[in-house]
Amino acid sequence: MSESVSEAEIAGNPETAGRAEPPAESHAPPEPAYDPAAPTPLNLPRTPTGDAEVDARLARLADADHLATDGHVEVYEDVHRGLRDALTALDGRPGPPVPSPSYEQSRS
């Protein structure tokens, strides 16, 4: 075989077809098509509230960043339910006892 053989001739030769390297472009993964329902992180800052339970619920919202749009509902409902429960618990906690009326006030 002659050393002056062109690459085109080598590519067409079945004996050398397995030896030639494919072009570099073929190794790159295809660019995904735009999908409006694909996950897109919002990266919104979350300011701590000072209540550990509420902060944990709000941190759960970050889980929606990695889900497709149709998966957001489950996360939002879970967070909403947890925040509602936290607010309801505030109403159920006993406060300080109500002071009894003083003797002077009851006589008048």
**Considering the domain boundaries, does residue 107 fall inside one?**
no
Work out the average pLDDT over 82-95: 86
**Considering the domain boundaries, does residue 105 fall inside one?**
no
**Considering the domain boundaries, does residue 73 fall inside one?**
yes
Query: Structure pTM?
Result: 0.50
Number of domains in the chain: 1
**Considering the domain boundaries, does residue 61 fall inside one?**
yes
- Of the candidates 58, 65, 22, 24, the residue with the CA atom closest to the CA atom of residue 43: 65
How confident is residue 67, by pLDDT bands cut at 50, 70 and 90?
confident
Look up the domain containing 73 and give its range.
50-92
Q: Tens of pLDDT along 13-47?
A: 556 555 555 555 566 677 767 777 677 777 778 89
**Considering the domain boundaries, does residue 86 fall inside one?**
yes
CB atoms within 10 A of CB 57: 20
